[in-house]
Structure 1
Amino acid sequence: MFLIQTIIYLLSFIAIWLGAGLIVRSADRFSHKLRLSSFAVSFFILGMLTSTPEFAVGITSVAEGNPEVFVGNLIGGIPVIFLFIIPILAIFGNGVKLTHQLSKKNLLLTLGVILAPSLAVGDENVTLVEGIILILLYIILFYVIEREKGVFDTNHSNILNIHSYSYKDILKVLLGVAIVFVSSQFIVDKTLLFADILRISPFYISLIILSLGTNLPELSLAVRSVISGKKDVAFGDYLGSAAANTFLFGLFTVMSVGETFAVQSFFKTFIILLAGLSLFYFFSRSKNDISRKEGIILLSVYIIFVIFEVFFATNL
């Protein structure tokens, strides 16, 4: 019985990966036809679309009255992206060149927005007001980066040209969305089932395991980036995806109708996340890249994070 449930769980993650892949590839073709700026495509469009699994899981968890699932999943995405996926990109790609980097000020702002949900959970509960603030933070980030980089090339954008859109790609996006949402239903249900079987909080399963599964699109981009050498595009997507998680966190908190939900003893987790992001910022600003050695250090922080969370989850 347990083995069958585990297989269904894993197959659901594979389905989410395939569905998100359909969405991202089709949207990428759209963006080139629409002549949007490359940074806009990477940071905002691909960043938001690779968060489709998180969106689907969040909608399902809110609908079923289990907000701790989306809380753990979205916060878990921070170490997965910055302490696991990007370090892997650096280790196997012999470093990550941050060619489409933000200014020092805006990179700090982006990382601050990314860390904001963890800060909100730091007092062991999240409220409606904090949810609204998180949404506003993402909107402010969008405005600031649009001023620096420009989301749309206003002189050449084809966004209003109907011929820029392919019906085939639209159908693929819709199919991908359907696959992701159906899979998310199984994922949330099995997460709750395993939490009950193992007698641990769904928050910790979501933080450690679910966050890995819903970030498979980002992981697949890392593999493609290593093979093709286009690591700069992937970096923009990872920043955008992590920032989009802040928007989703705020949205789902508001959708929970102001429900306050507790996360016990989260402060130590917040300290690890803060230390990890601080290291990432220091490494990325030192030489405008992350070396293989620095990638190993960041990956080590992720391993420490996982060990700590597993130990704490099993000793509550």
Structure 2
Amino acid sequence: MTFHLLFALLGVVGGVWALYYGGNEFVRGASLLATRLRVSPLAVGLTVVAMGTSAPEFFVSFLAALQGHPSIAVGNVVGSNVANVLLILGVASLLAPVMKEAQLFTFDFPWLFFSYLLVFIGVIVYYPSSYGAFARWAGGLLLLSLAAYLTLLYRKSKKEQRLQEELLKAEGLVEDVHERTVSLSRIVVRLFLGLSFLLLGSEALIRGSTWLAREVLHVSERFISLTVIAIGTSLPELVTSIVASTKDENEISLGNIVGSNIFNVMGVLGVSAVLSPLHVSLPEFWYDYGMMCLSSALLVVLLKRRGRVGRPAGAGFLLLYTGYIVLLYFTRFQ
């Protein structure tokens, strides 16, 4: 018992350190990549950073679908999207206000809610009694939508960056030559190193905290899977957004959250459904799906009206997330 306790504590401490180091490397690599490829940091946050930090969700849902656990595959995606907005953005905004980006309202948020609509349609098409099924065709539709989104995003970003460069030249301003000349191989190594530490750190922290929750706090396995594991797979997003906020990389921080949610639904859920039709309990699904839509809608309204997510709003997000978890614990998952 003592050995396992020590091992769990080392996992938690080592995981936190690995997450911090990996987050620093990953954000810096993403910033350099944006400069090197002549695309906006927001575009990199919405794609490279979002996909990289969504790797834990992908592996968990992928394996769950293969092993015949559809509720885990779906719950991991929906639960992670709720945590991304309420928990991660809430914590990041406490450190530094997260400012709005105009592109999100005209391009990315519509795609995000379109992905939610596809999930809704995919579930209600099959509506026998209290169970629904997310079929392979619905998963394929999500993957096609992801391909369309990424293609349009790349073209849009390249066009905007080209216009910005022309404006800088016209005004006689010179860009940072050093960052332009950083080799692509060094940037890739930095991204890979950062992502590796993020994944290893999250795995160590998940294992350590899961053991502590089960053996010390004596809560049920099912509750652990819906809280510790869901939050654990979102740890790369959490650390990346915190580091980006402290380094004044607002575009990467906000892009990471929105892009991760888009990729979770279109990519992770899409692949999982293509592998195996996902049968879900509708009462449980609608509860979590509703919270996912509500949290994203709150983010849009807040950014639209106030132009940022400040500390008071961040604290409100954290309180709402705490209430969500407490309600899960006392109503269905004890």
Place the TM-score, normalised by the shorter chain, in its bin.
0.7 to 0.9
- For 2:33 and 2:116, how far apart are their aligned partners in 1? 31
- The 1:216/1:183 distance shift into structure 2, 3 A limit, reads closer
After superposition, residues 155-234 of structure 1 pair within 5 angstroms as: 164-166=183-185, 169-170=188-189, 173=192, 176-177=195-196, 180=199, 201=222, 205-234=224-253
**Match of 1:284?**
303
Looking at structure 2, the residues matched to 313 and 140 of structure 1 have their Cα atoms a distance apart, in angstroms, of 38
- 1:218-297 correspondence runs (5 A): 218-246=237-265, 247-255=267-275, 258-263=276-281, 265-266=283-284, 267-297=286-316
- Amino acid corresponding to residue 302 of structure 2 in structure 1: F
Query: Structure 1, residues 165-209: CA drift from partner, whole Å, max 9, x if none?
Result: 326844872795598489769969x979x89x95554xx544322
C-alpha distance in structure 1 between counterparts of 2:38 and 2:226, whole Å: 37
CA positional deviation for 1:261: 2.6
The CA deviation string for residues 58-105 of structure 1, in whole angstroms up to 9 with x for no partner, is 344344443433322221111111111112222332x3212x332534
Aligned-pair CA distance for 1:239:
1.1
2:135 aligned residue: 127
Is 1:79 matched with 2:82?
yes
- After superposition, the Cα gap between the structure-2 partners of 1:128 and 1:295, relative to the gap in structure 1 and judged at 3 Å, is same
1:107 & 1:173 partners in 2: Cα distance? 26
Query: Which of 23, 39, 42 pairs up with 1:39?
Result: 42
Q: 1:29 to 1:108 in 2, by over 3 A?
A: closer
TM-score w.r.t. the length of structure 2 is: 0.72
1:139 aligns with 2:140: no
Percent sequence identity over aligned pairs = 20
**3-state SS, counterpart of residue 112 of structure 1:** helix
Equivalent residue number for residue 160 of structure 1: none
Q: How many residues align?
A: 305
- Match of residue 307 from structure 1: 326
SS in 2 for 1:265: helix
Q: Which amino acid in structure 2 is aligned with residue 230 of structure 1?
A: E
- Structure showing greater radius of gyration is 2
- Cα deviation code 1:83-134 (max 9, x no counterpart): 11112222332x3212x33253424413314535763567643221221122
Tell me if structure 1 keeps the 8 A contact 2:90–2:317.
yes
Structure 2 distance, partners of 1:216, 1:276, is 18
Whether contact under 8 Å (1:15, 1:179) holds in the other structure is no
Q: What residue in structure 2 maps to residue 104 of structure 1?
A: 105
Whether contact under 8 Å (1:72, 1:206) holds in the other structure is: no
Residues 168, 218 of structure 1: alpha-carbon distance in 2 compared, 3 angstrom cutoff: closer
The one-letter code matched in structure 1 to 2:273 is T
Greater helix share, structure number: 2
What are the ranges of 5 or more consecutive residues in structure 2 without an aligned counterpart? 125-130, 166-181
1:92 aligns with 2:130: no
Point out where structure 1 has 5 or more consecutive residues left out of the alignment. 157-162
Structure 2 counterpart of 1:87, one-letter code: G
Deviations 1:245-303 (A, max 9, x none): 12111112212xx3333235222222232222222111111132223332233222212
CA RMSD of aligned residues (A): 4.1
Structure 1 window deviating more from structure 2 (137-146 vs 6-15): it is 6-15
One-letter amino acid of the counterpart of residue 72, structure 1: G
1:126/1:11 CA distance change after superposition, 3 Å:
farther
Give me the whole-angstrom Cα distance separating, in 2, the residues matched to 1:27 and 1:230: 10
Deviations 1:132-191 (A, max 9, x none): 1221232233244345433896799xxxxxx93326844872795598489769969x97
Q: Which amino acid aligns with 1:261?
A: H
CA contact (8 A) 1:36 1:153 kept: yes
Q: Which amino acid aligns with 1:278?
A: A
Greater displacement, 41-50 / 119-128 = 119-128
2:280 maps to amino acid: A
Change in 2 beyond 3 A, CA 1:304/1:110 = farther
